[in-house]
Structures are given as structure tokens and as C-alpha cells.
Amino acid sequence: MNELDQLTLRLFTNKKKYHQYLSKTNIDDAEKIQLFYDKIKKYKYRIGEIFNRYLECPHTQTTNDVDEEMERLFQVLVKHFDMKEYENKCARHGYNETDSSSNEDDDREFRKEEEKVMEIDESDHSEFK
């Protein structure tokens, strides 16, 4: 199988099906993937601890590689969530972005949620003041 076929297969199948296919056709790659998944299981709690540290304090420093990748991950996740919010907003309004009355309602709703987050954030850090 050429590289283009492999890429196409990888992009258009889910991970589980792709891994099943590899286990039958390309045993070496399947073993590498399985070893990687085993290491994820092995380090699951350590990964979670690091992830939670970065969530609590985005300025956390581990190593340059980890810091850069965590920042990139958070950028991708924020972009993903922004896009999901946009998709939901469009779906609620029948894909009509020009409905100004609904924009005002959404803005008000967003401000309320933002105020709640700020209150929670302030109460969490009040002991450090």
C-alpha cells in the first residue's frame, strides 16, 4: 500500500478500525501503536496531574517541549470550543447570523456566564490575597 492510500485510510476511518486494519496488514506499525497506548495507560495518572497543573496555572513550567505542546493543545481546544459555540449559535438561529435581537441575547448570556466564572475564580484565589 502506498503512502497516499495509507493516509486516506487513516483520515477516513476511526482510530479503532484503523488499528484493527493495521494489526492484520502491518504488524510492526500495529505493535508500535499498541506500545504507545500501553504507555498512555501506564502514565495515565502522571499525565492527568500535569494536565491539571496546566489547567490551574497556565504558566506552569515542566520542560520546553511539554510547555509548548500544552500551550498548543489549549489553543486547539479553545478554537474547537469557539467553533462549537458558533455552530450551536448558527443552529439555534437557523444559520442566520444577521439576527441582531438574538445576538444581544447571546451577548447578555455570555456576560452572565463570564461574571459567574470571574466570581468563582476570585473566590478560589481569595486565600492568596
Domain with 106, as residue range(s), is 98-129
Residue 67 placed within a domain: no
Residue 76 placed within a domain: no
Confidence (pLDDT) at 23: 76
Residue 105 placed within a domain: yes
- HEC states along 3-22? HHHHHHHHHHCCHHHHHHHH
Residue 37 placed within a domain: yes
Residue 38 placed within a domain: yes
Residue 65 placed within a domain: no
Of 39, 41, 40, 20, nearest to 29 (Cα)?
20
Helix (H) or strand (E) holding 128: none
Each residue's pLDDT, cut to its tens digit, for the chain (129 residues) gives 677 877 777 777 887 887 777 777 778 878 888 899 999 999 999 999 999 999 999 899 999 999 999 999 999 999 999 999 988 888 887 766 555 555 566 666 666 666 665 665 555 444 443
Give the chain's domain count. Answer: 2
pTM assigned to the model: 0.56
CA 60, distance to chain mean position in Å, is: 18
Residue 54 placed within a domain: no
The count of residues in the chain is 129
